[in-house]
Amino acid sequence: MIKTKLNLFSEFILSKLENSNSEIQLSDCTNFISIKGMTDSKELISIKDCVEEFNAKYIDYQIRNTIDLLEYKDKIPVRNKYQFDFTNFSLENNISYFDYSEFPFGFSISQGKLIYFYFRMIVEKLPPDYLYKYLRFNVEVAEKGEINFNLYRDFNEDEKLSSVIRDCFDFNIKSIENIVKKMDLEKLILNPNINMFEEFVVEDFILL
């Protein structure tokens, strides 16, 4: 429940930083929640007001004490390397021993959220007979925007699946931007195994 609360609150803060590039990361420190990250927003937001509004909306996920360490900068660097982890909830319990908000919640579209959801779409489209507990994508974005990645299935590299993915997906990341912008991320946070890309059809995604 704590991680759910942190994910919800990180997205809530992000929603108040309109038209900005931001990275919001929350940590539960027992007696308070630490709010770290960066934003290029020109307007300072009141975390106190955010807490009051959040608590009024989410009765079951109350925020008490916070420490605001959010940095306001002229420009936020754009990453070119990411690590995306996906858990198969039907085979493995998602147990975490660390209480912090999870990527991509609290991150702007331009700060890796869009790339993350493209890879989430790939995972959602995997053939049902492809069984795994964990998938990890190590992703690198080249200077001209090309996407390179290595895929690990249950901690072992799976070159076969990587090859099939490259054949079936064009990695036009912008193609899902409007979908991601309209996503109900609250629904995803509360139901992590929900399918967010049902309308996307991928043909010939077959593993032999």
* Residues with Cβ within 8 Å of residue 201, at least 6 apart in sequence: none
Contacting residues for 67 by C-beta, under 8 A, at least 6 apart: 29, 32, 33, 34, 35
Rounded Cα distance, 2 and 73, in Å: 29
pLDDT of amino acid 87: 86
Inter-CA distances, 124 with 6, 57, 187, 199, Å: 24, 30, 16, 11
Structure tokens at 92: 């493995």
Check residue 128 and give its pLDDT: 80
In this prediction, residue 196 carries a pLDDT of 87
The three state secondary structure string of the chain is: CHHHHHHHHHHHHHHHCCCCCEEEEEEECCCCEEEEEEECCCCCCCHHHHHHHHHHHCCCCCCCCEEECCEECCCCCCCCEEEEEEECCCCCCCCCCCCECCCCCCECHHHCHHHHHHHHHHHHCCCCCCCCCEEEEEEEECCCCCEEEEEEECCEECHHHHHHHHHHCCCCHHHHHHHHHCCCHHHHHHCCCCCCCCCCCCCCCCCC
pLDDT at 97: 52
Residue 145: predicted pLDDT: 83
* pLDDT per residue rounded down to tens, the chain (208 residues): 789 999 999 999 999 998 899 999 999 998 999 999 999 999 999 999 999 999 999 999 999 999 999 999 999 988 899 999 998 865 555 555 568 999 999 999 999 999 999 999 999 988 888 888 899 999 999 988 899 999 999 989 999 999 999 988 999 999 899 989 999 999 999 998 888 888 777 766 666 5
Ordered structural domains, the chain, with CATH? 2-72 (3.30.300), 81-190 (no CATH)
